[in-house]
Structure 1
Amino acid sequence: MREITIDTLVRLLRESAGEDESVQLDGDILDTTFEALGYDSLALFNTVSAIEREYALEISEEEVGGAKTPADLLKTVNQALAGTS
């Protein structure tokens, strides 16, 4: 089964949305909100677009809108990869 990992998500966040020097994406960030990490809705949109391209997925705006943390987004993406979204 294909699955996206936190390491892949961090890479895509950095590539797609940029990374401010003050933003820390290291350590246990799974349950930290994207807002607290310094990523706004546009940054999240860019990251999800990159995930969709890289994994040939389509994820609805409603599903993405419910993702407030990296853990939420990983769950949404991995469900889509498994075909259970």
Structure 2
Amino acid sequence: MPELTLDDLRRILRAAGGEDDPATLDGDILDATFADLGYDSLAMLEMVSRIEREFGTSIPDELVPDMPTPRTAIGLINSRLRAAA
């Protein structure tokens, strides 16, 4: 069963292109808000779209506000992946 890791999320966020400085995603970012990391709602929707394609799962747009931090995003996405397995 696939699982989204923090490294996966960092790679996807960099590809989604919210923050200009890739070093912003280094270190302990699990509890930083995506807004503090430089990702706006458009970048978040791009992140979700990339995760859907890569992991073969559906994440409704209305769940995006329920993912304010990388920790909550990873938890929510992995719970959807487990439920779909």
TM over 0.5: yes
Q: In the aligned structure 2, how far is the partner of 1:40 from the partner of 1:18?
A: 7
Moved more, 35-44 or 61-70: 61-70
Cα separation, 2, equivalents of 1:22 and 1:54: 21
Give the drift of 1:64: 1.8
Question: Cα offset for 1:23?
Answer: 5.7
- Report the number of matched residues: 84
Letter in 1 for 2:74: L
Residues 31 and 69 in structure 1, CA contact (< 8 A), matched pair in contact too: yes
Give the C-alpha shift of residue 19 in structure 1: 3.6
Unmatched 5+ residue regions in structure 2? none
Structure 1 residue 62: deviation in Å? 2.1
2:29 partner SS: coil
- Cα distance change, pair 77–45 in 1 and its aligned pair in 2 (3 A): same
Which residue in 1 is equivalent to 2:58?
A: 58
TM-score with structure 2 length normalisation?
0.89
Distance 1:56 1:65 in 2: 21
**Which 4+ runs in 1 deviate beyond 6 A?**
none
For the structure 1 residues 18 and 63, does the alpha-carbon distance in structure 2 shift closer, same or farther, using more than 3 Å as the test? closer
Identity %: 48
Extract unaligned runs of 5+ from structure 1: none
